[in-house]
Amino acid sequence: MTDPLPQGSTIGILGGGQLGRMLSVAASRLGYRCHIFEPGAAPAGDVAHSVTTAPYEDAAALRAFAATVDVITYEFENVPTSALDLLESLKPIRPNRRALAISQDRIPEKTFLNDLGLATAPWRAVNSEADLQAATEALGLPAILKTTRLGYDGKGQVKLATTADISSAWAAMDGAPSVLEGFIAFDREVSVIAARGLDGSVAAYDPGENVHRDGILRTTTVPARLSPGQGSDAVLLAARILNALDYVGVMGVELFVTPEGLLVNEIAPRVHNSGHWTQAGCAVDQFEQHIRAVAGLPLGDGGRYADVVMENLIGDDVARVPDLLKARDAQLHLYGKGAPRPGRKMGHVNHVRRP
Amino acid sequence: MTDPLPQGSTIGILGGGQLGRMLSVAASRLGYRCHIFEPGAAPAGDVAHSVTTAPYEDAAALRAFAATVDVITYEFENVPTSALDLLESLKPIRPNRRALAISQDRIPEKTFLNDLGLATAPWRAVNSEADLQAATEALGLPAILKTTRLGYDGKGQVKLATTADISSAWAAMDGAPSVLEGFIAFDREVSVIAARGLDGSVAAYDPGENVHRDGILRTTTVPARLSPGQGSDAVLLAARILNALDYVGVMGVELFVTPEGLLVNEIAPRVHNSGHWTQAGCAVDQFEQHIRAVAGLPLGDGGRYADVVMENLIGDDVARVPDLLKARDAQLHLYGKGAPRPGRKMGHVNHVRRP
């Protein structure tokens, strides 16, 4: 085991978007500094001790970054392997590489989950139009074809309604390794934001109920409409994943609630958009919980003391900011990103329901 | 009237301590950047876009600072007048100079409050031992002698119990202009954290009940033990002060609750230690409320949805951090200040009482 990171230590964060931004703020509350590594624009830099702007291929910049930090974490799972190999030789990376490797590719992810005894949507690997043809026969239609890597916010996904869609769907993948997922008639989508400390302890926030539109999360509502049994199933299932990976940090586990039980949709080895509500309803939010874990501190009390609806502000939704500033019980979080673009997450609002 | 500050604008903050630090974080949530001006160590710099380290006498540094910011605010009221004169000629300063001037000196402050019809402890200006002698005869003993300027956290204060203390008490003032305050038999101390927007609207948080030890705030508890009448008196009285000063920003108003009514102890033209509880119990905390005001945004909803006890961590209290990290319903805020010293505010904890 490792001692807790002393106050005044520096945490390196790979990625400088809104998640890095909110992680840096949480780290400051615990007396830590953050150093952001980000190839592009870094809104996290506005609230970080230092920022390195360099590509992940710049070994000298990665070495200089590692020299200034005590531990490294990340705000997104698609950091190139070469950068991780170099960084891992210099400083601890938390969550660990296995969690990253699994979540970077849908096929190892689903294999890992199924091997753990957890249900997912039925799936088949697809590397050719012939594979896709065979997969549609095995799983039936409708179904969803997804690239195995780099998909997020609905990108790299095509729905197949009938066999007439097979050719165009495969063409849309542009030759990328893909996976076909069978259709799931789910009642609702929920997610569990769970954390595991360096000491192996596990904590989870109350599950949130998610609504997606065009593949992008729109709202998360707590409490989720789950029976007590479903709620504890969801949390136990998340704990099983974290323990199996010897995980350290916060993970987002997306689940489908079906009449037959809970299916795992996907896992994200990081703080998660569906956990933003914790900023308004808990003494310790998901960002602080993640920092506590990677710093080797005890996990905090994530008990909930308010009902919350978290609403993402996407693209032109920022035009609503003047109204939201006046709204009752609305906690606004803007990301400092400049001009809105369609599909771009510009901020979020936590609508607090006083008990 | 002035238009709201657009997102991406920069707010200049004079002072880089814990208040500046938490203001900078709040500004980031509204899409603003902060530039800190601080002659000494600046924990606020860990979560700010930029920091200038220079004395308040450095006109070139002040000019360069002003050139990068859109509006200027401050985390403490003792900024030298020469620096304010220069800055005010370059960029708006909010809250305004009058509020600063009044709160920098106990005599104009008490005069302003009394002229407004608000009660304070009885007081006399003291500029010599003879003055002090006369003042003790007028006000009786016990009483407290305070320097008129630069006093905070119990510094520059001496209690007089008997006439035998007169000589040593005056000697302790080292010739500084002082004020003798008569003894007040108060039931409790409360404070109102109130805000006034650029549009003249006023909002106030629920009053908090304060406990001081050795002149330093130890805890603030909400709700305070006040009758409904006292609660509304306290809030209305604060509103009267803000309106009279054409104030923009958050102000801390410290009150004594006595059998005869509320007395004003002092006012602080800034976010206030006794308002830190708002971080755990409100959608919009005092830091964001202040940023909203100085940025010309509408004031936010400060409605309270939890009971909170805020506890300061002073000096060696930081040794309790390992236990506090494990405590239930405890939201910890550490200031990144390095080594503890007696009387130094190192952090605070918001103990949330779930409803």
Q: Give the mutation candidate from A279, A332, A351 for the B interface (greatest B CB count, under 10 A).
A: A332
List the single residue in A25, A28, A300 with the smallest CB-CB distance to B325.
Answer: A300
Contact A38, A99 (CB under 8 A): no
pLDDT digits (tens, 9 = 90+) for B339-353: 999 999 999 999 998
Q: Closest by alpha carbon to B21, among B38, B39, B2, B4?
A: B38
**Strand locations in A148-241 (E):** 157-160, 178-182, 188-196, 202-204, 208-213, 216-222
A31 contact residues in B (CB cutoff 8 A): 334-336, 347
pLDDT digits (tens, 9 = 90+) for A211-243: 999 889 999 999 999 999 999 999 999 999 999
pLDDT digits (tens, 9 = 90+) for B310-321: 999 999 999 999
Q: What is the ipTM score, two decimals?
A: 0.92
Residue A151 pLDDT more than 70?
no
pLDDT class for A91, splitting at 50, 70, 90? Answer: very high
pLDDT at A281: 84
pLDDT at B355: 61
Separation CA A311–CA A350 (nearest Å): 6
User: B-contacting residues of A 260-299, CB under 8 Å?
Assistant: 280, 283-284, 292, 297-298
Residues 6+ apart with CB under 8 A from A86: A59, A62, A63, A66
Separation CA B188–CA B190 (nearest Å): 7
pLDDT at B78: 86
pLDDT at B154: 64
Average pLDDT over residues A194-223: 96
B327 contact residues in A (CB cutoff 8 A): 301
pLDDT at B182: 95
pLDDT digits (tens, 9 = 90+) for B6-47: 999 999 999 999 999 999 999 999 999 999 999 999 999 999
List the single residue in A48, A283, A334 with the smallest CB-CB distance to B352.
Answer: A283
pLDDT digits (tens, 9 = 90+) for A280-329: 989 999 999 999 999 999 999 888 989 999 999 999 999 999 999 999 99
Contact A253, A274 (CB under 8 A): no
Answer yes or no: do B330 and A301 touch at CB < 8 A. Answer: yes
Residue B152 pLDDT more than 90?
no
A287 contact residues in B (CB cutoff 8 A): none
Q: A74-86 in b/e burial notation, b at 16+ Cβ within 10 A? A: bbebebeeebbee
pLDDT at A36: 98
pLDDT at A322: 94
A270 burial class (0-12, 13-18, 19+ CB within 10 angstroms)?
A: buried
Q: In chain B, which residue's Cα lies nearest the Cα of A333? A: B29
A168 burial class (0-12, 13-18, 19+ CB within 10 angstroms)?
A: exposed
Q: In the A/B pair of chains, how many CB contacts fall below 8 A?
A: 117
**Strand locations in chain A (E):** 10-14, 33-38, 50-53, 71-74, 123-126, 143-147, 157-160, 178-182, 188-196, 202-204, 208-213, 216-222, 249-258, 261-268, 307-314, 330-334, 345-353
Average pLDDT over residues B41-59: 97
- Average pLDDT over all residues of chain A: 95
Q: CA dist B145 to B129, B152, B159, B163, B248, Å?
A: 11, 13, 6, 13, 31
pLDDT class for A353, splitting at 50, 70, 90? Answer: confident
**Percent with pLDDT over 90 in chain B:** 90
Residue A152 pLDDT more than 80?
no
The string of DSSP letters for B116-142 reads TT--B--EEEESSHHHHHHHHHHH-SS
pLDDT at A150: 75
Average pLDDT over residues B228-232: 94
Answer yes or no: do A284 and B331 touch at CB < 8 A. Answer: yes
Average pLDDT over residues A186-201: 97
Q: A204-234 in b/e burial notation, b at 16+ Cβ within 10 A? A: bbbbbbbeeeeebbebbbbebebeeebbebb
Residue A155 pLDDT more than 80?
no
A322 contact residues in B (CB cutoff 8 A): 4
Separation CA B292–CA B276 (nearest Å): 17
A336 contact residues in B (CB cutoff 8 A): 7-8, 28, 31-33
CA angle B24, B26, B31 (to 5 degrees): 90
pTM of the model: 0.94
List the single residue in A29, A46, A329 with the smallest CB-CB distance to B332.
Answer: A29
Residue A18, amino acid: Q
Answer yes or no: do B30 and A301 touch at CB < 8 A. Answer: no
Give the minimum alpha-carbon distance from B207 to chain A in angstroms, rounded to a whole number: 19
CA angle A46, A49, A55 (to 5 degrees): 75
Residue A1 pLDDT more than 60?
no
Residue B147 pLDDT more than 60?
yes
Provide the β-strand partners of residue A351.
Answer: A309, A330
Separation CA B288–CA A331 (nearest Å): 10
Average pLDDT over residues B262-274: 96
Separation CA B90–CA B94 (nearest Å): 13
Average pLDDT over residues B50-72: 98
pLDDT digits (tens, 9 = 90+) for A36-89: 999 999 999 999 999 999 999 999 999 999 999 999 999 998 899 899 999 999
